Structure 1
Amino acid sequence: MADVAAVAGVSHQTVSRVLNEHASVRGETRERVQAAIQELGYRRNSAARALATSRSGTLGVVTTGSALFGPTSTLIAVEEAARDKGYFVSVATLRTYDTRSMHEALEHFMAQGVDGIVVIAPHDDVAAAVESFRAPVPVVVVAALGEATAETRAGSAAAEPASATMSVAVDQRAGARAATEHLLGLGHADVVHVAGPQDWFDARERAAGWREALAAHGIEPTRPRTCSWSAEDGYHAGQDLAEAVVAGEGPTAVLAGNDQLALGILRALWERGLRVPDDVSVVGFDDVAGAAYFVPPLTTVRQPFAALGAQCVAMVLASLAGETVAVERIEPRLVVRSSTAPPR
């Protein structure tokens, strides 16, 4: 920086202001400093800056290593949001979700001197392991932990102390309610739910939203069929549903726990000669890339991952600034396509 200052004919402090994009530097001066930086090939020494400011400019992200759409999209969204705020991301991928593995990952980040940590915690074991670790930096857990407070249930923000482990999530329950209400509003007398694994927060919240919508219409829900998140499991569930429909005992509408399950259901119904949505309406969840090109195009619930990533980073930065942090649920959006229609 001293070399840049000498070439540009400015003070060391002015160079610092240019590097930090301070608004008080005149345009002509900024151009001279930037020209000197280009001439000298100057690069900021992040390690030295971390020593001087006690900030590394890095956020740690723990993810489960899942290739599933939700966790992967969340990771990408957090990385993009962090970069927009001038932060780098260091990623630790867990293959097992025990407390020891989680603590090792978090200790690794502590050794790196990260400014904050985001944990993508889709199921119980991950969240439990995080809760047992006391980090000296802000920690945001991405998990649909349920409706813990009346304020959250009402859709408003509840304040947490800046030092607490914070949580943020897409409102999975609201998304499933909207999907179920859509099907009931079309005139379907009942909606069957093919659910994801129940040790996942998202799966439980989606099942809860489905039950709430049915209860609001005075309908007693049948027990949901629990699967993995795979299209293969959806296919097997769809085969059973198809046989029931052919026998005159099946549903006219199905809410799938995610779009992959919906894809398997669509295949099984097609193989049995049943038409969607003429014989059975199907709704998915996630709005994966390509959902609009399923046959038929899939009605589904879109998760706003970009907003989720931005909220994660905003919560970390607010906590670092000592500000009160709001616990929020981000609203998903129902995308209606051709896989749903009124029953015959």
Structure 2
Amino acid sequence: MNLRSYLFPALLALILHSVILSALFYSWFGYAEDQKRLTPRHVKAQMIDLKTQHKAQQQDKQAEARRKEDARKKAEAKKQEDARKKEALKNEALKKEQLKKEQLKKEAVKKEQAEAKKKAEALKQEALRKEALKKEALKKEAQKKEALKQEAARKKAEAQKKEQAAEVARKKQQEEARRKAEAQKEAERKRAEQQRLEQEQKRRESELAAAMAAEEREMQAQQDQQATAGYLEYIGSEIESNWSRPPSARNGMMVVLSLHLFPTGEVDNVYVVKSSGDSYFDESAIRAVKRVGRFPELQKMDPILFDRNFRKLTLEYKPSDLRR
């Protein structure tokens, strides 16, 4: 069975019994109380020292005032302590943020230095390879000349021996030597002509390579210009989508901002270079850049192009458009 079903009837019975007992108690003792009220009582008089009472009241008030002052001082001290702790936490957070930014800068500098060192090492190795090839060619040419010189000396010695053996043989040898000399001169002439033709060919190839390199540089410059324009349009679109125009914004107003960016696309710093004359408009432009915070597409950019055009960027900010 549920005990709650008996709770209300039991409570009701208890109240009813209390009322009945109260009525009986009043009927029994009420008459005696009425008789007691009719009996005259003696009045007891007592003198009160008002001056002493007033002094006691003043002391009580002073003690209460001192307690309130102590409580106020304790509350003020606690408030100052809380403010000091809050300021210390704030300073610690700012310090950590500064250390983080400095670490990112150091890492970016180390990365740039490593890339520069790698490129310099590659150029050095290429220069050494070309120098080695040049030395090898000069060595082969010297060996060839030395071989020709030794061959000529040998033939001359043989001619001298034949000349000592017989005059006829000497004359014949001289004639043979003359013919060989003429042949050698012809060979040298042909070799000189061949060298001239080779040098002319090399000159033409060098001019062609220079022309091709110039054309390639021009094409690269055009590609860099197009890429720069595309990234500027991207940055402008990102900032424009995060800009909330203040009520004071009007056509014709312009603020010039300077953005400092990391290669990761993260905004390092932004500040006003030339004010529009309206501080609300200037602040809205800065807030728009900070809302973006990072331009991830800049990570795809060539590092050289980034360092040249986007590490420190100047933007003109207008109500109707955003352009460099």
* Same fold, judged at TM 0.5 (above): no
Higher strand share: 1
What TM-score do the two structures reach when normalised by structure 1?
0.20
Higher helix share: 2
- Tell me: higher relative CO, structure 1 or 2? Use CA pairs within 8 A at least 6 residues apart: 1
Which has the greater radius of gyration? Answer: 2
